[in-house]
A and B are shown apart, each in its own frame.
Chain A
Amino acid sequence: MAALQLHDTERMPRLARATTRILVIDDDACVSTAIQAILARHRYDTVLASRAHAGIHAFQASQFDVVMVDLFMPGMNGLDTITRIRSKSAVPIIAMSGFRLRNSLDPDQDFLGMAILRGATTSLRKPFSPPQLVAAIDRGLGLVSSAERTMQ
């Protein structure tokens, strides 16, 4: 199964220099392709996986600086994917979802909040803008984002 789904993983041509490598696990190709296009302009190297298993496989086979995970995916969902990755690695994880389904009495029911509880480093609510995307990656990497810098 995992071997089959490896076909879902596709590499972007490496830039000449070693750069920050980001693994994007999202079943929606239009989202991950857009993320890849934006991040390429910021000189980030991205690897796309359209399924959790393919993503975990790619993660184990290679080195990544940041992993972005969509919470709603066919097959293994994003929350379980985060748990799996977190059990093996301290890599910064960015959880992505457009959904909150939050209960005002219990904020933990927020999907993105649940993702943080599962070990995600930070979260990104869809639809997000290019500056928000870059800021989330900076947050994941423990950097002060350019937006925050200008505020200081």
Chain B
Amino acid sequence: MTRKDNRAGQSNYSKRIERGGQRTEKFERPSPERTRAANEVGSAIAHQLNGPLTALRLYIGEIRQSSSRFRETAEAQDSMRPMVEAAFQETERLCAMMRLIADSFEEPLYPESAAALGRDVISWWSRSGSTEGGGPANEGGPAGAASFALLTPREREVLSHVSQGCSNKQGAIRMQIGPRTFESHRARVMRKFGARNAADLVRMALGENVVTP
């Protein structure tokens, strides 16, 4: 929750590294867990954008196609056609950007994490990705008081670390478990809460007074 806590986590972390052992090796890579977390948020945004963009591309494409068939006055045609054409070009540009964004997420994936991430993202969205109404857990999912009761003791512990601002790595070290395990606990907690991302989860957890400030 505070910078101080984070520092405490960091120093534990470096102590552990100094002590050496097999754990150290796992953390040497430039933090794939962090990258994954960033990707989760990025891909969630990309996912959100994709729907409206798809709809826009369909509508504009069809408008452009059929506007040439409209029997309008020459004057109306002259003024409308450049605008329709411009709207079409802008939409195509946005869609091209969207493709770049979606593609960029494949870069940092290692073979073993790709499948896991795929499953995570799909199940995460399965739980929380409703785009109707835009809010999380608005499909009658278990939000609020009920959701905390659904958590296992292990998951509550994970939630409390996440709420205190721990990264997956820091939380994993505190709990003396692997970062992957921590992350899968975290993913389950998020699913149970119907949280879209870590920030969302913390907000919900704070709302439930899981974390005493």
Within 8 A of B (CB), among A37-57: 37-38, 41, 50
Counting contact residues on chain B (CB < 8 A from A), the size range is 35 or more
Counting contact residues on chain A (CB < 8 A from B), the size range is 35 or more
Within 8 A of B (CB), among A16-42: 27-31, 33-35, 37-38, 41
Tell me if B50 is interfacial: C-beta within 8 Å of chain A: yes
Tell me if B206 is interfacial: C-beta within 8 Å of chain A: no
Residue of B nearest to A28 (CB): B51
Tell me if A59 is interfacial: C-beta within 8 Å of chain B: no
Q: For chains A and B in complex, what number of residue pairs have CB atoms within 8 angstroms?
A: 122
Inter-chain contact A77/B51, CB cutoff 8 Å: no
Within 8 A of B (CB), among A108-126: 109, 111, 114, 125-126
Instruction: Compute how far the CA of A75 lies from the CA of B123 in the bound complex, rounded to whole angstroms.
Output: 8
Known: A41-B62, A130-B61. Is A74-B106 also a contact (CB below 8 A)? no
Inter-chain contact B54/A98, CB cutoff 8 Å: yes
Known: A28-B51, A29-B132, A31-B51. Is A100-B102 also a contact (CB below 8 A)? yes
Within 8 A of A (CB), among B20-78: 43, 46-47, 50-59, 61-62, 65-66
For residue B58, which residues in chain A have a CB less than 8 angstroms away from its CB? 34-35, 37-38, 128-130, 133
Instruction: Compute how far the CA of A7 lies from the CA of B162 in the bound complex, rounded to whole angstroms.
Output: 38
Instruction: Compute how far the CA of A126 lies from the CA of B131 in the bound complex, rounded to whole angstroms.
Output: 16
For residue A98, which residues in chain B have a CB less than 8 angstroms away from its CB? 46-47, 50, 54, 98, 102
Tell me if A135 is interfacial: C-beta within 8 Å of chain B: no
Choose, from B3-11, B109-117, B165-173, the stretch at the interface.
B109-117
For residue B50, which residues in chain A have a CB less than 8 angstroms away from its CB? 98, 126-127
Residue of A nearest to B137 (CB): A74
Within 8 A of A (CB), among B85-111: 95, 98-99, 102-103, 105-106, 109-111
CB distance from A71 to the nearest CB of B (A): 7
Selected from A31, A73, A99, A105, the residue in CB contact (under 8 A) with B54 is A31
Inter-chain contact A27/B54, CB cutoff 8 Å: no
Selected from B52, B118, B126, the residue in CB contact (under 8 A) with A73 is B126
Inter-chain contact A50/B54, CB cutoff 8 Å: no
Proximity string of chain A (117-150) to chain B, C-beta cutoff 8 Å, 1 when within and 0 when not: 0000000011111110100000000000000000
Proximity string of chain A (67-101) to chain B, C-beta cutoff 8 Å, 1 when within and 0 when not: 00001111111010000000000000000001111
Selected from B54, B55, B56, B115, the residue in CB contact (under 8 A) with A109 is B115
Q: Beyond the given A101-B105, A130-B58, could you list 13 further A-B residue pairs with CB under 8 A, ordered by the A residue number?
A: A28-B54, A31-B54, A34-B58, A38-B61, A38-B62, A71-B122, A98-B46, A99-B47, A101-B109, A102-B114, A126-B50, A128-B54, A129-B61
A-B pairs with the 7 shortest C-beta distances? A98-B50, A28-B51, A34-B55, A127-B54, A103-B114, A34-B58, A130-B61
20 A-B interface contacts by CB (under 8 A): A27-B132, A28-B51, A29-B132, A30-B51, A30-B54, A31-B51, A37-B58, A38-B58, A50-B132, A72-B122, A99-B46, A99-B47, A101-B117, A101-B121, A103-B114, A106-B114, A109-B115, A126-B54, A128-B54, A128-B57
